[in-house]
Amino acid sequence: MSIHRVVSLVPSITEALALTRPDALVGATDWCTHPADLDVVRVRGTKNPDLAAIRALAPDIVIANKEENRELDVRRLRDGGVRVWVSEIETVPQAIAAYEELFDDVLGWPRPDWLDDARDLWCGPLPAVSARVAIPIWRDPWMVVGRSTFTGDLARRLGWDNVFAAHEGRYPHATAEEIDSCGAEVILLPDEPYLFTAEDGPEAFSHTTTRLVSGRLLTWYGPSLIAAHASLDREGH
C-alpha cells in the first residue's frame, strides 16, 4: 500500500522525498534545508522534535535515523500510535540499501532515477588512496570524523584516507594541535554541521593545508550523492 502522508526528521531523506513525491511530505525539521523551496510544516529540530505537532499532522509514517534522531523521541511516537521507520547508515552502500527498502517496502513508491545512478557511482571497488585527510565537524571543542561514519566511508570511496578512522570514537574530540600534527595532507573543513569559513577554521592550523568543502555534499546521503561524486572527486585532484 502506498504511503500518502510522511513526516521526515532526517534532512538527507527529506530532500529525497521532496524531489520524489512533494505532495506526500507534510512535515520536516528546521534543519531540512533542501530543496530550497520546501514548503511543509516545520516540527523543530532533529534532536528536539515537536512530538505534538507531528501527531497533529496525522502522518502515515515518520522517517527517522539512528544517528540523527533520539531513541526517546522514536519510542514516544510509537507509544502514541505513530508508525516510525528508522534507518541506520554508516556507509554509502548502506544508504543506498536503506533507500531501496524505504521506497520498495515502506513507502510503496517507485524508486527515483538518481538512486540507481548513485549506486553505480559509489558502490564499486574502493579506489587507491590519493590523500590522507582529517575532517573536523565542530570546534570549541574540536571534533573530527572518526570510525564507522557515512562521511568517512564516502571520503574513502573518493580515495581519501581518514587519519582518524581507527579511533575508537565515531566523532572523537581532538585539539587543533592534534589535528594539525596527525599526519593528514589536507584538513577538510565543511560548512555544516559547524559553519567553517575562510575566516573561521583555517587559521587554527599552521602546518597542514586546509580546504573548505560543502558539508551537504560530504555528509548528506540522498540526491546530493550525484553532485557529491562529481564535485568532491574534482576536489581531490
**pLDDT 10s digits, 107-158:** 999 999 999 999 999 999 999 999 999 999 999 999 999 999 999 999 999 9
Q: Per the domain annotation, does 48 fall within a domain?
A: yes
Q: Per the domain annotation, does 223 fall within a domain?
A: yes
Let me know whether 77 and 166 are in one domain. Answer: no
- The answer to whether the CB of 210 falls within 8 A of the CB of 187 is yes
Let me know whether 83 and 147 are in one domain. Answer: no
Let me know whether 222 and 156 are in one domain. Answer: yes
pLDDT at 237: 44
Beta strands in the chain (DSSP E): 6-8, 25-28, 41-42, 61-65, 84-87, 131-134, 136-138, 143-144, 160-162, 186-190, 209-213
Between 92-101 and 150-157, two packed helices, what is the crossing angle to 10 degrees? Answer: 110
pTM of the entire predicted model? 0.92
In angstroms, rounded to a whole number, what is the distance separating the alpha carbons of residues 52 and 13?
22
- The answer to whether the CB of 23 falls within 8 A of the CB of 2 is no
Let me know whether 69 and 146 are in one domain. Answer: no
Residue 39 is part of which domain span? 6-91
In angstroms, rounded to a whole number, what is the distance separating the alpha carbons of residues 178 and 53?
44
Nearest C-alpha neighbor of 179 from the set 219, 136, 130, 141: 136
- pLDDT tens, residue by residue, 91-112: 999 999 999 999 999 999 999 9
In angstroms, rounded to a whole number, what is the distance separating the alpha carbons of residues 80 and 222?
29
Nearest C-alpha neighbor of 65 from the set 84, 92, 43, 42: 84
CATH number, domain with residue 36: 3.40.50.1980
The residue among 42, 66, 91 that closes a domain is: 91
Let me know whether 222 and 137 are in one domain. Answer: yes
pLDDT at 215: 95
Residue numbers in the chain where pLDDT is lower than 50: 236-237
Sign (positive/negative) of CA torsion 67, 195, 43, 34? negative
Q: Per the domain annotation, does 103 fall within a domain?
A: no
Q: Per the domain annotation, does 204 fall within a domain?
A: yes
Q: Residue 50 burial by CB count (10 A; 0-12/13-18/19+): exposed, middle or buried?
A: middle
